[in-house]
């Protein structure tokens, strides 16, 4: 079984007193959070920021806090893959319009409660709920 480590997270901004998070529509057409593989020699936090910046077309993102990790097993092109995903709370200090990458169908800012509702994956919903609790104290 192939093992993979990925990192990503909840990219957020405050707008008119509300928390907005960046959601992407992934290659499967499902609403998710930006994430990707941790490259050799790269820290998980660095990978989370790099992937978010690449997928959302943003710059100067900052990891604020570790949220959680999840593990899942899936099959891709006949191969069984064991993946661990590390998620972080990532602040966007000066964010404007999102410019999605080619691997993302759509990228948009969404109110955090709407993001929880739209998220297609159970682990994504849980990560967003945890992020919302953390953000109550930020």
Q: Taking the chain (138 residues) in consecutive chunks of 10 residues, what is each chunk's mean pLDDT? A: 96 91 91 96 97 92 96 90 97 83 86 96 96 90
Domain that holds residue 108: 2-135
Per-residue model confidence (pLDDT) at position 129:
97
Judged by DSSP in three states, 118 sits in helix
Per-residue model confidence (pLDDT) at position 135:
94
> Is residue 47 within a helix (H) or strand (E), and if so which, with residue range?
helix 44-56
Per-residue model confidence (pLDDT) at position 100:
73
Domain count, the chain: 1
Per-residue model confidence (pLDDT) at position 28:
86
pTM over 0.75: yes
Are 46 and 15 contacting, i.e. CB atoms less than 8 angstroms apart?
A: no
What CATH number does the domain containing 15 carry?
3.90.79.10
Judged by DSSP in three states, 88 sits in strand
| Torsion, CA 122, CA 126, CA 131, CA 136, rounded to 10 | 130
């Amino acid at each position: 079984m192939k093992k993979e480590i990925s990192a990503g997270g909840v990219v957020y901004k405050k707008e008119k007193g509300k928390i907005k998070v960046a959601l992407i529509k992934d290659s499967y057409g499902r609403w998710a959070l930006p994430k990707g593989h941790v490259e050799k020699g790269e820290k998980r936090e660095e990978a989370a920021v790099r992937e978010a910046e690449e997928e959302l077309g943003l710059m100067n993102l900052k990891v604020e806090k570790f949220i959680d990790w999840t593990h899942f097993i899936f099959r891709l092109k006949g191969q069984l893959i064991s993946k661990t995903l590390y998620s972080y709370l990532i602040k966007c200090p000066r964010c404007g319009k999102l410019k999605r990458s080619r691997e993302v169908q759509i990228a948009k800012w969404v109110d955090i409660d709407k993001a929880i509702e739209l998220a297609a994956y159970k682990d994504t919903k849980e990560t967003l709920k945890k992020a919302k609790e953390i953000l109550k104290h930020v």
